[in-house]
Amino acid sequence: MLNSPLSEHASELVIAILHQVLTQGAPLDRAYSKQFAPERLKPWEQARIALVTGDILRRLSYYSFLADVSAEQIEREGTRLINAWHMANGLELPKMRYALQMDSELLEQRMAEAQAMPALLDGCPQWLEALGSEQLGDNWPAERHALTQAPKRYLRTNLLKCSREELKARLAKEGVETCEVPEVGSALEVISDSALFRTECFKSGWFEQQDAGSQHVAEALGVEPGMRVIDACAGAGGKTLHLAAKMQGKGRLLAMDVEQWKLDNLKQRARRAGAHNVETRLIASSKTIKRLKLSADRVLLDVPCSGLGVLKRNPDTKWRDTPERLPVLMELQEHILGSYSRMVKVGGILVYATCSIMPQENEQQVARFLKQQGHFRLLDEETISPAKTGFDGFYLARIERIAE
Binding residues for S-adenosyl-L-methionine: 257, 302
DSSP-derived secondary structure letter, 318: G
Contact between 177 and 194 (Cβ < 8 Å) = yes
Question: Which residues, other chains included, contact 125 with Cβ-Cβ below 8 Å and sequence gap of 6+?
Answer: 61, 318, 319
Residue type, 168: K
Residue type, 233: C
Comparing CA positions, the residue from 88, 125, 86 lying closest to residue 108 is 88
Comparing CA positions, the residue from 154, 202, 141, 199 lying closest to residue 181 is 154
**What string of DSSP letters covers 311-368?**
TTT-GGGGGSSHHHHHHHHHHHHHHHHHHHGGGEEEEEEEEEEES---GGGTHHHHHH
Contact between 305 and 356 (Cβ < 8 Å) = yes
Q: What separation in angstroms does the CA of 96 have from each of 70, 75, 76, 117?
A: 21, 15, 14, 32
Based on its alpha-carbon atoms, the radius of gyration of the chain, rounded to whole angstroms, reads: 22
Comparing CA positions, the residue from 186, 282, 271, 269 lying closest to residue 232 is 282
**Residue 124 falls in the annotated catalytic set:** no
- Which one of 124, 162, 233, 355 is the catalytic residue? 355
Contact between 178 and 188 (Cβ < 8 Å) = yes
Q: Which are the catalytic amino acids?
A: 355
